Amino acid sequence: MSNPVLSVRDLVVEIPTRNGILRPVDNVSYDIAAGEILGVVGESGAGKSMTGNAVIGLLDPPARIASGEVLLDGKPIQGLKGEALRRLRGKKMGMIFQDPLTSLNPLLTVGEQLEETILEHLPISAAEARKRAVEALEEVGIPAAAQRIGSYPHEFSGGMRQRVVIALALCAEPDLVIADEPTTALDVSVQAQIVALLKRLCRERGVAVMLVTHDMGVIAEAADRVAVMYAGRLAELGPVRDVLTNARHPYTAGLMGSTPLASQGQRRLRQIPGAMPRLGALPQGCAFHPRCDRAEDRCRAEPGPTISACDGRAACWFPLGYPQEATG
Amino acid sequence: MSALIKVKGLTRIFDVSKPWLNRVIERLPKALLTAVSDVSFEVEENSVYALVGESGSGKSTIGKIVVGLVPPSQGSVMINDVDLATETDAAKVEAVRADIQMIFQDPYASLNPRWRVREIIAEPVAAKGGNTTGLAERLLEQVGLSAADAVKYPHEFSGGQRQRICIARALASEPKVIVCDEPTSALDVSVQAQVLNLMSDLREEFGLTYLFISHDLTVVQHMADRIGVLYLGRLVEEAPRDILFEDPKHPYTRMLFDAAPRMDGFGREVDPPKGEIPDAINPPKGCAFHPRCPIAVERCSRERPEMRDVRGARVACHLAE
């Protein structure tokens, strides 16, 4: 792989509270190359959105990056503030949020919002910015873009609004886009349109995309590689086909097994016992061990290994299917 | 087997007009939204009937009409041959009402935060003056929680546990029918699996009938015996599960199946469906799906297709054969 666009190294996010320090993101490392879509999956509270927010500098205090590095095009960006951060956001990285209605300003037309972003980051005239804005809307598939550019966000449907948000994230031609649950609020047919759009833009523009979602189906269809998160840590990281069909971490296997599709034809779904622990009450050792049927003494005593420390795939002392892998 | 729920020609129209004065000043006509239009189906006893559709398809409205939270504009819902909307015999209405319960989508909004779990669960029985001693404790254990949880408040539970409390409350009056409106869409997959398994177990144990409302095709495929697909308030296709999934006949059903993300669809290039769901206040003439339909002919924009039987399914499409 050539130099990655985004490189996250041993990232730790902490939230100090009255009852001690919580770690919603704990020792997470991954890279995203240009033109690649990295899917980040996990259940609610796994730290997937928090990771995205940490990268783009949107952590709400008191949450803060406690240690680790975030490298964008090789340059560290963690802890940047004020003007320096503002110049990066929009220009170098764009963000797509879950709810398209709350991420657009209801008092400005979509044209004004697009032009504002373009003029802020690109050295071009207002007339040119207008042209760019229309092109950006056309590119994301909004029909009659030249007329719709004067419309307000409420005049668009949910799917169209999400297209505007995508246009907004891409209009200053960033190298990295963080999409946080971009299709969760949308219907299936519109979701398919948005996923296809993201894939096309990623391919054509060579943008690196971090796609945060809880929908395994969307990950399977859109992502090149996938990172599975559990209780703030990376559980598994690898090419999407390998991870989804041949999971190494017992949590990934459980997650895949509990989707209704995987259990087709069986009367009962496979289920993982229990629920994800709260951040304030993480168990000793590997955070997954109380729910894991392969847990042994080592899992109860030591925290799980980091991914790079073992086979580069699963953060587990006893990964599934490992011996078979070695023999053939 | 006999049909426990008979829905016939169900129609519900909501008045979404602006206030009277605005209408006069702005010279606007009344705006009527047809949420459900001429829907008929039957649910067999001890089976799971699923309604699927995208937002605005009227699936939740049908659920609310069936439990009696919303009166129908036209048509009827017969439960055990009693129509709740028109029946005059109070004793019969009372009996049927106890037979039907509902589970809502959002377990955070459907439990009273100021009530203890015991009161929440026992309420359907207490409201009728029944004996509630030990009822909540017994039901909590049945849904996989502990009897000691009865004295806690809803905020002490996670989403999946709250949905279990909702299920326990629905079971309290020993109903025959439970209407489940998106019971797992607010839950994570691993928790969803637990709740769906619980619902399957309870169905067998108590001989329950579910009217299952969902937009998630994989969940529906797992749970349902018979499925009705809704589009813009109309039933477009209805069939037993296996027939529907193996051989979808309506172009909308096919579009829905193609668009749903697949877990084995690595790098699948979907040709995404065109367009969006039209406005329910001014639905397209003829077949409501024709502007998005890949096989629409001229007749589709003129004439509304009737439901007809095609190879084991009921389909509302001129071109299905």
Q: What does the DSSP assignment read for A131-147?
A: HHHHHHHHHTT-TTHHH
> CA end-to-end span of chain B, whole Å?
28
Position B130 scores a pLDDT of 83
- Other beta carbons within 10 angstroms of residue A297's beta carbon come to 9
Chain B closest CA to A254's CA: distance in Å? Answer: 8
Position B128 scores a pLDDT of 83
Q: Report the alpha-carbon distance of residue A300 to residue B252 in Å, rounded.
A: 51
Cis peptide before A62 (omega within 30 of 0): yes
H-type alpha helices, A2-78: 48-56
Taking only residues 145 to 164 of chain B, the set having a beta carbon closer than 8 angstroms to any beta carbon of chain A reads 158-161
Structural domain includes residue B77? yes
Q: A1-34+42-87+223-328 maps to which CATH number?
A: 3.40.50.300
Structural domain includes residue B252? no
CA distances from B262 to A11, A270, B216 (A): 32, 18, 12
**Nearest residue, CB atoms, A244 vs list B190, B217, B263:** B263
Structural domain includes residue B65? yes
The distance from CA A113 to its chain's CA centroid, rounded to whole angstroms, is 24
Packing angle, helices A188-205 and A158-170, rounded to 10: 20
Catalogue the E-assigned strands of A5-128.
6-17, 20-32, 37-41, 64-72, 75-76, 93-96
Q: Report the alpha-carbon distance of residue A81 to residue B112 in Å, rounded.
A: 43
DSSP A250-292: HHHHHHHHTSTTTTTT-SS----SS-PPPGGGPPSSSTTGGG-
Residue B269 forms contact with A (CB below 8 Å): yes
Q: Report the alpha-carbon distance of residue B147 to residue B140 in Å, rounded.
A: 6
Q: Report the alpha-carbon distance of residue B176 to residue B198 in Å, rounded.
A: 16
User: Mind listing the pLDDT tens digit of every residue in chain B (321 residues)?
Assistant: 578 999 999 999 998 888 889 888 988 888 888 999 999 999 999 999 999 988 888 899 999 999 988 999 999 999 988 888 788 888 888 888 888 999 998 888 899 999 999 999 999 999 888 888 889 999 998 888 888 899 999 998 888 889 999 999 999 988 999 999 988 888 888 888 888 999 999 999 999 999 999 988 888 999 999 999 999 999 999 999 999 999 999 999 999 888 888 877 777 777 777 777 788 888 888 899 998 888 989 999 988 999 999 888 999 999 887
Chain A closest CA to B90's CA: distance in Å? Answer: 40
Q: Report the alpha-carbon distance of residue A89 to residue A96 in Å, rounded.
A: 12
3-state SS assignment for residue B177: strand
Position A44 scores a pLDDT of 83
Position B229 scores a pLDDT of 95
ipTM over 0.90: no
**Per-residue tokens: B84:** 């709740």
Q: Report the alpha-carbon distance of residue B260 to residue A149 in Å, rounded.
A: 31
Question: Domain-by-domain residue ranges, chain A?
Answer: 1-34+42-87+223-328
Taking only residues 147 to 176 of chain A, the set having a beta carbon closer than 8 angstroms to any beta carbon of chain B reads 157, 159-160
**Nearest residue, CB atoms, A254 vs list B160, B190, B264:** B190
Position A264 scores a pLDDT of 63
Give me the residue label for tokens 């990056």: A65
Phi, psi of B252 (to 5 degrees): -70, -45
Taking only residues 5 to 44 of chain B, the set having a beta carbon closer than 8 angstroms to any beta carbon of chain A reads none
CB A315 within 8 A of CB A304: yes
Residue A262 forms contact with B (CB below 8 Å): yes
Q: Report the alpha-carbon distance of residue A132 to residue B57 in Å, rounded.
A: 37
Q: Report the alpha-carbon distance of residue B210 to residue B192 in Å, rounded.
A: 17
Which residues are bridge partners to B228 per DSSP? B51, B238
Chain B closest CA to A126's CA: distance in Å? Answer: 32
- Other beta carbons within 10 angstroms of residue B134's beta carbon come to 12
Q: What is the mean pLDDT of chain A?
A: 86
Q: Report the alpha-carbon distance of residue B60 to residue B102 in Å, rounded.
A: 11
Q: Report the alpha-carbon distance of residue B305 to residue B272 in Å, rounded.
A: 25
**Nearest residue, CB atoms, A217 vs list B219, B256, B262:** B262
Position A178 scores a pLDDT of 92
Position B55 scores a pLDDT of 82
Structural domain includes residue B304? no
DSSP B143-164: TTS-GGGGGS-GGGS-HHHHHH
Residue B194 forms contact with A (CB below 8 Å): yes
CB A87 within 8 A of CB A57: no
CB A201 within 8 A of CB A29: no
Residue A196 forms contact with B (CB below 8 Å): yes
3-state SS assignment for residue A54: helix
Structural domain includes residue B301? no
Which residues are bridge partners to B102 per DSSP? B179
- Which of B214, B221, B222 is the mutation pick for testing A, counting most A CBs within 10 A? B222
**Per-residue tokens: A244:** 């989804």
Give me the residue label for tokens 């500098």: A57
Chain B closest CA to A165's CA: distance in Å? Answer: 18
Q: Report the alpha-carbon distance of residue B180 to residue B167 in Å, rounded.
A: 9
Q: Taking CB atoms and an 8 Å cutoff, what residues of chain B touch A43?
A: 188-191
Residue B219 forms contact with A (CB below 8 Å): yes
Residue A43 forms contact with B (CB below 8 Å): yes
Query: Residues of A137-164 as b/e, b for ≥16 C-beta within 10 angstroms?
Result: bebbbbeebeebbeebbeebebbbbbbb
The one-letter amino acid at B231? Y
CATH number at residue B124: 3.40.50.300
Q: Does the beta-carbon distance from A187 to B55 stay under 8 Å?
A: yes
> CA end-to-end span of chain A, whole Å?
25
CB A269 within 8 A of CB B193: yes
Structural domain includes residue B319? no
Q: Does the beta-carbon distance from B261 to A218 stay under 8 Å?
A: yes
| Domain with B48 in it | 3-224
Q: Report the alpha-carbon distance of residue A225 to residue A99 in Å, rounded.
A: 25
3-state SS assignment for residue B60: helix
Low-confidence ranges of chain A (pLDDT < 50): 1, 324-328
Number of domains in chain B: 1
- Other beta carbons within 10 angstroms of residue B76's beta carbon come to 16
Q: Taking CB atoms and an 8 Å cutoff, what residues of chain B touch A244?
A: 263, 266
Q: Does the beta-carbon distance from A195 to B217 stay under 8 Å?
A: no
Position A170 scores a pLDDT of 86
